[in-house]
Chains A and B, each alone.
Chain A
């Protein structure tokens, strides 16, 4: 939030020069939603002249659209979200310039507070055309490689299943063991391909965020119910601490579910037999907070800074489970951030960890794309 203060006084022309020199586009509005300041970078980005833009309605100049060119619903606009939440909102999206050509940009918009009263908004825009192009090339490469991997993998899977079902004759115990190993390896490889595709797409901002009213308490209960067999298999004690009568949140249940499943799966995987898992869900001032605590191996202090880094696996975990990819937490954090939330943790080695997943109370911002999350 931008707080005004009388402590500093600058010449108005100095401020204008300062803002004009900034490489990002800056636009300020008054309390009626009209533009009262726009710098040269913003004029260039959106193709407007200063005379035309000043006093024009913000919504006529800043026109966010979905990938297919359809306009955003008014309530999904970042400026409205910032006014509804009373805090800064950042969103990466497409905008229509004055000539209707498309501009990919990141918008950060904050309410302007003058003497404690909201009087308008200031928005900063960063053109990300070049980043999008680089991301697209990387994404194309990984998509192509993944699809090329999937085709032979499907054949291996199908024929291994046929052998396992005895369609090509009986097998001895050792042959069956070999086939089961092939099947579980192809399953893991398929999951890895899905994760790689998801990461590539989400890094490129190319994943759909499909907004509905979601009851987080129900989602948590459903996932816990599905996880019962793996919890029982390790004789883990599960406790729930779910706040009653939670309001629904506008977000994407598929993506929220993926983050929660990821955190819960880690807790199950990295907690020794007979340990405890506590799943919590509560509201805080600005957010919904989901937590997964365990009495597991914990994360060594030296590894904690890198735990959300792509392909990173802590040394104490490598000795417990060699099959992980080091991509799950990276993906979970990326998804949470795309939903306007975050993932973080507290951990003590050999005592356990608590992972937190927050979502803003005002909900997530919708995004239309060609891809849904692969699960």
Chain B
């Protein structure tokens, strides 16, 4: 939660979406992706990072899951998050 606005941080929103697909592993999975590929702490995630992050998440998920449709749905949800909210989290 962003202490200034009381709104969910971008990281929390990404984890929320991921939770539906990876359950309790979501937090760790996303944290590792952010640290490895963006070299940032999760709370520093910005909207401009999402495109790169989603590319890597998509690759990892394509190997982790047999269900291609599920992976597409998950990536589409993340792309939806990247597209929404105008300048929020920028």
Contact = CB atoms under 8 A, between A and B. Distances in A.
A85 B59 contact: no
Among the interface residues A75, A83, A117, A285, which one has the most CB atoms of the partner chain B within 10 A? Answer: A83
A83 B59 CA distance: 7
Contact of B58 (A31, A57, A80, A285): A31
Contact of A84 (B32, B39, B52, B68): B32
A111 B32 CA distance: 16
Contacts of B59: 31, 33, 83, 111, 118, 120-121
A120 B55 CA distance: 10
B36 A80 contact: no
Interface in B52-67: 52, 55-56, 58-60, 62-64, 66
Interface in A299-332: none
Given A32-B68, A83-B56, A361 B35 contact: yes
A285 B56 contact: no
A362 B55 contact: no
B37 interface: yes
Given A83-B56, A83-B59, A84-B32, A75 B64 contact: yes
A33 B32 contact: no
Interface residues of A, number: 24
B64 A361 contact: no
Interface string A70-100: 0000110101100111100000000000000
A348 to B, nearest CB: 33
A101 interface: no
Nearest to B56: A118
A79 B63 contact: yes
A59 interface: yes
A83 B66 contact: no
Nearest to A117: B55
Nearest to A116: B52
Contacts of B66: 57, 59
Interface in A35-91: 57-59, 74-75, 77, 79-80, 83-86
Contacts of A59: 63, 66
A84 B29 CA distance: 8
A84 B58 contact: no
A294 B63 CA distance: 46
A31 B62 contact: yes
Contacts of B71: 32
Contacts of B33: 84
Contacts of B32: 84, 361-362
A74 B56 contact: no
Nearest to B60: A83
Contacts of B58: 31
B39 A74 contact: no
A165 to B, nearest CB: 53
A364 to B, nearest CB: 14
B40 to A, nearest CB: 11
A118 B56 CA distance: 7
A77 B60 CA distance: 11
A84 B36 contact: yes
A361 B38 CA distance: 13
A58 B63 contact: yes
Interface in A1-56: 31-33
A140 B35 CA distance: 43
Nearest to A58: B63
A124 to B, nearest CB: 17
Given A86-B56, A362-B32, A74 B63 contact: yes
B56 A80 contact: no
A74 B36 contact: no
Among the interface residues B33, B58, B63, B68, which one has the most CB atoms of the partner chain A within 10 A? Answer: B63
Given A86-B56, A362-B36, 9 more contacts: A31-B58, A31-B59, A32-B62, A57-B66, A83-B60, A111-B59, A117-B55, A118-B56, A286-B36
Closest A-B pairs by Cβ, 7 of them: A33-B62, A83-B60, A83-B59, A74-B64, A86-B37, A33-B63, A85-B36
